[in-house]
Amino acid sequence: MATPHLGERSVGVAQFILMNRPSVAQYRFVAGNTINEAFSGPPTIMFTIPKGSWFRSPTLQRNSVSRVEENFKGRTIAQVNFDDYASATIHGDSAINFVRIVEIDKAGTVLPAGPIVVVPPPYFFSAAHRSITLSGTAPSAAALATSLPPSGAMALSFPRRCDDLTIDNTSAVPLRVSLGEGMPERSIAAGASLSLAFGGTVLYLSGTGGVATFDLTATVVSGPR
């Protein structure tokens, strides 16, 4: 599963950078205006591009904003103005969106969608650290004997490292949280909270015995702290 790096986020531009995988032929960008919409909406398809290409959405094709000649060897680049895809399920450029990448291999097989990438609005990174508040519904998934995140867990990818992470379990079942694909889960009891001084860049969330609703607040660090 692919997770793009959010390179630039400014007015009218969100730049996604993907490292190419040999078995992949195309990358499909899908999005939602909420975490739940991006996870199980199903998310709305924005566009599909060949591996190794440099894509600019329609508005950006008509101007020179962020048009910089670079060596993109081994990478796929997409520069997006969300106003080009604004709808009932995708916010325009001025608001937060949630993007996932669906890989399509050389045989035409559509692979499972990657983590949900949190794309904040413009000016979000104008300060060295900014707080972000999110809510969603983690799927029900049986815990593994290894305590690692199970297949099907919700994966959230933040654009930068997070500090001061607080997760509130607002459901009636335990919520399990992991700070990485290879990191053990920690269970948050129904109605309880978990606070961490350092949260990393990715979260895996799943419910035990049912879906689990949650709220989270984090400080996203874009500069020295």
Indicate the pTM of the whole model: 0.92
Q: 5-122 — its CATH code? A: 2.60.40.10
* Nearest of 22, 14, 23, 19 to residue 2 by alpha carbon: 19
* Nearest of 167, 137, 172, 140 to residue 36 by alpha carbon: 137
Burial class (CB in 10 A: 0-12, 13-18, 19+), 79: buried
Q: What does 85-107 look like in DSSP terms, one character per residue?
A: G-SSSS--TTS-EEEEEEEEETT
Q: CB count, 10 Å around CB of 23? A: 12
Q: How many CA atoms within 13 Å lie on the side-chain side of 84?
A: 16
Average pLDDT over residues 109-125: 93
- Mapped onto helix, strand or coil, the DSSP state of residue 125 is helix
pLDDT digits (tens, 9 = 90+) for 58-115: 999 888 666 666 667 899 999 999 999 999 999 999 999 999 999 999 999 999 999 9
Q: From the centroid of its chain, how far is CA 173?
A: 25
CATH class of segment(s) 127-221: mainly beta
* Nearest of 23, 198, 4, 204 to residue 105 by alpha carbon: 23
Read off the amino acid at residue 150.
P
In this prediction, residue 41 has a pLDDT band, given cuts at 50, 70 and 90, of confident
For residue 54, what are the β-bridge partners? 77
Domain ranges of the chain: 5-122, 127-221
Contact predicate 112/46, CB 8 Å = no
Contact predicate 112/202, CB 8 Å = no
pLDDT digits (tens, 9 = 90+) for 142-193: 999 999 999 999 999 999 888 889 999 999 999 999 999 899 999 999 999 9
Burial class (CB in 10 A: 0-12, 13-18, 19+), 92: middle
